[in-house]
Amino acid sequence: MSGGWGGRAWVLGVYAFLYVPILCLIVFSFTAGEITTRLDGLSLRWYAALARDTELHAAVLLSLRVGALAATAAVVVGTAAAVILVRAGDYPGSRFFLGMMSAPMVMPEVVVGLSLVLLFTHPALAILGGRGVAAIWVAHTTLCTAYVAVLVASRLREMDRALEEAALDLGCPPLKVFFVITVPVIAPALAAGWLLAFTLSMDDFVLAAMLSDPGSTTLPVLVFARLHHGLKPEINALATVIVVVVSIAVLLANRLLLGPPRAAAQPSAARGG
Amino acid sequence: MRAHPASAQGHGRFWVGLLPWAWMLFFFVLPFALIVNVSLSTPDLAVPPYVSPFAGTTADGAPAFRPDPASYARLGDELAALATPGADRPYLAAYANSVLLAALTTLCCLLLGYPFAYRLARAPEVMRNTLLMLVMLPFWTSFLLRVYAWMGLLDSSETGLINQALLGLGVVAEPLPLLYNTGAVLVGMVYSYLPFMVLPLYANLVKLDLRLLEAARDLGARPATVFLRVTLPLSLRGIVAGSMLVFIPAVGEFVIPDLLGGGSVMTIGRSIWDDFGPNQDWPMAAAVAVVMVVMLIAPIVLLHRHGRRAGRGA
Amino acid sequence: MCEVSLDIGEREIFALLGSSGCGKSTLLRMIAGLETPSSGRILLDGEDLAAVPAHRRPTNMMFQSYALFPHMTVADNVAFGLRQLRPRMARAAIAARVDEMLELVQMRAFARRRPQELSGGQQQRVALARSLAREPRLLLLDEPLAALDKRIRQQTQFELVGLIRRVGVTCILVTHDQEEAMTMADRIGILSEGGLVQVGTPGEIYERPNCRFSAGFIGETNLFHGRIEGDRLASSDFPQPIVFAAGAGASPPSGGEAWLSLRPECVRVHRRAAGDACVAEHPGENVAAAEVAEIAYLGGRSIYHLRLPGGRAMIASVPAAHWGETAPPARGEPVRVSWPAPDGVLLLR
């Protein structure tokens, strides 16, 4: 299988499998007809429809807002969790904490969604305000915190502890060390974590659908409803816009995050003595 | 005289830990306890639609615990009815379907993803990041819209893209019923979960010391032997991690069976969704969820072990 | 870590020398406040530092990895400690001090660079400037040259000592490299298994080691194990009891276990004719017949691996001039080894 042509064909085949469906979506977004899988002439009419679709605009705005808020909260909670995971060592409950932090990543979404619905509709917890935007935000923050924690923890493990010790040694108080040394050094991981959390939140359907009330329709909830009520090439137009935006964002993020090498932040040689 | 790192002391760490501990306990662990609680409740026409086992009081007015095992009893009855042919066992069928689908998805992802990840790990170093990014790119675009793309490809009418192609080439005379069956769901699942298999496999294979393979070749092993006796055992961790990352969430998948399976493919995810939504039987939904999580504990522990060991070995 | 009692004088360069894992870095980190001793005191000018957190201690450390902040320029790295001072230092004063420090280590031209753009030696100099900027009362160096290439290490040792002496700061340095310790330090403390086994100048430790560990750690040595019988050491390794010169202290107890350490350059090697009896020419001399097993030619001198009659190996370092016009003995040739009693050092542990 390491052989030349067979292997290369396999790789190309897998890429085709990944990209042909997306290319189809894009091609048929330019149809002039009503059918989502046939090019009945070329037009931009579905993009025009997209531009007039106020219901969709509201859903996009809500998703962007929830995504940004959830990503920000997840970076805060997840970074704190990563610091504990990497730096607190063994303490009673440390293994439970590790399990609790990683479980949301593998737990089926319907279970997480159901459990949070039960929390938000619990008679004794009316103070939480029931289902709605805040509940979706909490759900997304919980899910994304786990991802951010894993990402930041691995960066934190690579970081040379001596950097923080040097700052302490040079007279910097511990809390300030975290903000002027640790945060800048792990900044790429924080940014990557934010972006990952934002995308996860933007993309989530199950949690948002279970926790939404009539006033809180996020983009995936709206799209899901429309997929059930007849397909229109407008959705292809939406998909094309998303693919273009995401591709540009991923390329930019790749440049920004992976671009400058940070040699000195690599792990130090084993300490003697 | 014993010493410990000075930075480990102090109360700072306690306050840092408070936020994630409190958040996860309140928004992840407590809700999960509520699922267990509700699974032992009685359905009711109220808001929320159940009567908690802690709701009643004893004769002397103290709070009482009266669990209602009816939901679990329904699952038990279906299990007992296994011997009766032709009996209706919707939940058991959903569990079996889900596990089978998840297992098939995992197998297909592995067969498709292993040679792919292997080639990727052997690609010239300058190209690897780009190739890997190309795997991740679809993952970053909307999941729902990617499933939607398959609805168009698999459509069973003559306007379905694959049917159009087959009809146009004259391979078939009538459009094939491609959508709304188990096959369609499987294709959609493999499509959606493939990156979760490729990434851990790639991460593992890229670290594989090529000199080991050369040593095996040098010692006279044929390529197939090298692969079976050296490469495969050394990448076992990647295989386990990737398989668990696909299998566990696939068991509970809801969206793909719903959109590509039509009414024909019942899974646990859909069954929970239906009991939670249209049927308004929250205790049943909770009981089904509890049983699913219990089923998933073994693979989750397996993933956790391998994850930790891989983390140490890295 | 066990009890360690140390007094370090002002403006002294003191080296803590020990193999890796002996706790020397831990000791240094305790002084810096990065580790907390469970008991004991650390006194600096009579003030106990134990309760002072790391960021308030008047000590500064140069880390093994240099720990230069990757997101700051060289100048910002050096200024970092100064910016933490309270009351605040004026901007202009900080800039002037940074300039002065970079001038001292000849790195002014690199002030705007990032640490990762510098070579290992340049990073080391920036790290030194950074730890000197706050004028610490005690400078701590953790394996200062271990991260450097072997080629530039020796030259850097001299540069570093020169700089530290110019600044006049008291300095504790930790190293596992005996050559580094002997080159740089005024005094050396040898650590073994968390305890201090000997403290002294490099010369004292080399010439008068007080235990087997010191003797073996600094330089090479021949060790003979045996029991004390009066003013001799009866060793199964040597044909006859070894004559030693008792030190200034009380004479060691007869019958006790002891070791004799003999530096290779103290061993005298002569050609031996067949039938040479090899008896001492005067009472204070140890003599034995031996055979050359291996010779390592090192230019100015040669290392002889010799075999004594019992099979025991011995090494001798012989200057090339020793043989004069005659040819030095070859491998397998018989020789006669001797040394005067005062050259051997008797060790009781």
Q: With the C-alpha atoms ordered B94, B99, B104, B106, is the resulting torsion angle positive or negative? A: positive
The pLDDT of A103-132, averaged and rounded, is 88
Amino acid identity of residue B164, one-letter, is Q
A266 contacts in chain C (CB < 8 Å): none
Split at pLDDT 50, 70, 90, the class of C153 is confident
* Average pLDDT of the residues of chain C: 85
- In the sheet with C170-175, reading across from the earlier edge strand, the strands are C59-62, C138-142, C170-175, C13-17, C187-192, C195-200
pLDDT of residue B63: 74
Give CA–CA dist C125/C156, Å, rounded: 9
Chain A neighbours, 3+ Cβ pairs < 8 A: B, C
Q: Residue C260 pairs with which residues in a beta bridge?
A: C224, C346
CATH of the domain at A247: 1.10.3720.10
Considering only CA atoms, which of A74, A137, A80, A143 is closest in space to residue B20?
A80
Residue A220 to residue B31, Cβ atoms within 8 A: no
Q: How far is CA B101 from the centre of its chain?
A: 10
Report the C-alpha dihedral over residues A32, A33, A35, A36, rounded to 10 degrees: 10
User: Is A34 a domain residue?
Assistant: no
Tell me the range of A130-134, B188-192, C154-158, C161-165 where mean pLDDT is highest. B188-192
Give CA–CA dist B268/B285, Å, rounded: 9
Amino acid identity of residue C287, one-letter, is V
C138 contacts in chain A (CB < 8 Å): none
User: Is A253 a domain residue?
Assistant: yes
One DSSP character per residue, chain A reads: --SHHHHHHHHHHHHHHHHHHHHHHHHHTTBSSS-TTS--SB--HHHHHHHH-HHHHHHHHHHHHHHHHHHHHHHHHHHHHHHHHHHS-S-TTHHHHHHHHHHHHHS-HHHHHHHHHHHHT-GGGGGG-SSSHHHHHHHHHHHHHHHHHHHHHHHHHHS-HHHHHHHHHTT--HHHHIIIIIHHHHHHHHHHHHHHHHHHHHH--HHHHHH--TT---HHHHHHHHHHS---HHHHHHHHHHHHHHHHHHHHHHHHHHSS--GGGSPPPPPP-
* Domain spans of chain C, in order of start: 22-138+145-169, 223-347
Residue A198 domain boundaries: 54-265
pLDDT of residue C237: 79
Smallest CA–CA distance, residue C61 to chain A, in Å, is: 7
Confirm or reject contact between C2 and chain B (CB < 8 A).
Answer: yes
Confirm or reject contact between C195 and chain B (CB < 8 A).
Answer: no
Helix A183-203 and helix A233-258: axis angle, to 10°? Answer: 170
In chain B, pLDDT over 70 holds for what percent of residues? 94
Q: What is the pLDDT of residues C271-311, one digit of tens each?
A: 877 666 667 677 778 888 888 888 888 888 888 888 888 78
Give CA–CA dist B147/B157, Å, rounded: 18
Q: Give the residue on C whose Cα is nearest the Cα of B3.
A: C37
ipTM summary value: 0.86
pLDDT at B100 over 90: yes
Fold of C22-138+145-169: Rossmann fold (3.40.50)
Interfacial B residues in 4-63 facing C (CB < 8 Å)? 4-7, 9
pLDDT at B141 over 60: yes
C134 contacts in chain A (CB < 8 Å): 170-171
In chain A, pLDDT over 70 holds for what percent of residues? 93
Smallest CA–CA distance, residue C137 to chain A, in Å, is: 13
For residue C262, report the phi and psi dihedrals to the nearest 5 degrees: -130, 115
- In the sheet with C313-319, reading across from the earlier edge strand, the strands are C268-271, C334-340, C285-297, C301-307, C313-319
| 3-state DSSP of B218-283 | HCCCCHHHHHHHHHHHHCHHHHHHHHHHHHHHHHCCCHHHHHHCCCCCCCHHHHHHHHHCCCCCHH
pLDDT at B53 over 50: yes
Contact C245, C339 (CB under 8 A): no
pLDDT of residue A60: 93
Residue B24 to residue A227, Cβ atoms within 8 A: no
From residue B222, alpha-carbon distances to B116, B216, B229, B230 in Å are 21, 8, 10, 11
User: Is A172 a domain residue?
Assistant: yes
Q: How far is CA B80 from the centre of its chain?
A: 28
| Lowest mean pLDDT across A245-259, B87-101, B123-137 | A245-259
> In terms of pLDDT, which residue wins out, A228 or B85?
A228
pLDDT of residue A142: 96
Q: Residue C303 pairs with which residues in a beta bridge?
A: C296, C317
- 């004292």: which residue's tokens? C204
> In terms of pLDDT, which residue wins out, A271 or B59?
B59
Q: What is the pLDDT of residues A143-165, one digit of tens each?
A: 999 999 999 999 999 999 999 99
CATH number given to C223-347: 2.40.50.140
Count of C-beta atoms within a 10 Å radius of residue C149: 11
User: Is A218 a domain residue?
Assistant: yes
User: Is A236 a domain residue?
Assistant: yes
Domains of chain B (ranges plus CATH)?
A: 12-54 (no CATH), 89-313 (1.10.3720.10)
List residues in chain A touching C: CB distance below 8 A: 160, 162-163, 165-174, 181, 184-185, 187, 261-265, 268-269, 271-273
pLDDT at A207 over 90: yes
| Lowest mean pLDDT across B80-84, C15-19, C99-103 | B80-84
- 């329709």: which residue's tokens? A217
User: Is A39 a domain residue?
Assistant: no
Contact C314, C265 (CB under 8 A): no
Confirm or reject contact between B210 and chain C (CB < 8 A).
Answer: no
**What secondary structure letter does DSSP report for B57?**
B
Chain C neighbours, 3+ Cβ pairs < 8 A: A, B
Residue C69 to residue A165, Cβ atoms within 8 A: no
Q: What is the pLDDT of residues C162-212, one digit of tens each?
A: 999 988 899 999 988 888 888 889 999 888 876 888 888 888 888 888 888
pLDDT of residue C274: 67
Residue B1 to residue C2, Cβ atoms within 8 A: yes
Give CA–CA dist A269/C64, Å, rounded: 8
pTM: 0.83
User: Is A113 a domain residue?
Assistant: yes
The pLDDT of A200-204, averaged and rounded, is 91
**How many domains, chain A?**
1
Smallest CA–CA distance, residue C148 to chain A, in Å, is: 12
| 3-state DSSP of C150-212 | HHHHHHHHHHHHHHHHHHCCEEEEEECCHHHHHHHCCEEEEEECCEEEEEECHHHHHHCCCCH
pLDDT of residue A258: 62
Smallest CA–CA distance, residue B22 to chain C, in Å, is: 30
Q: With the C-alpha atoms ordered A86, B26, B29, A216, is the resulting torsion angle positive or negative? A: negative
User: Is A46 a domain residue?
Assistant: no
pLDDT at B239 over 50: yes
Option in C16, C60, C65 nearest A169 (CB): C60
pLDDT of residue B288: 93
Amino acid identity of residue C261, one-letter, is S
Considering only CA atoms, which of B193, C34, C56, C70 is closest in space to residue C44?
C56
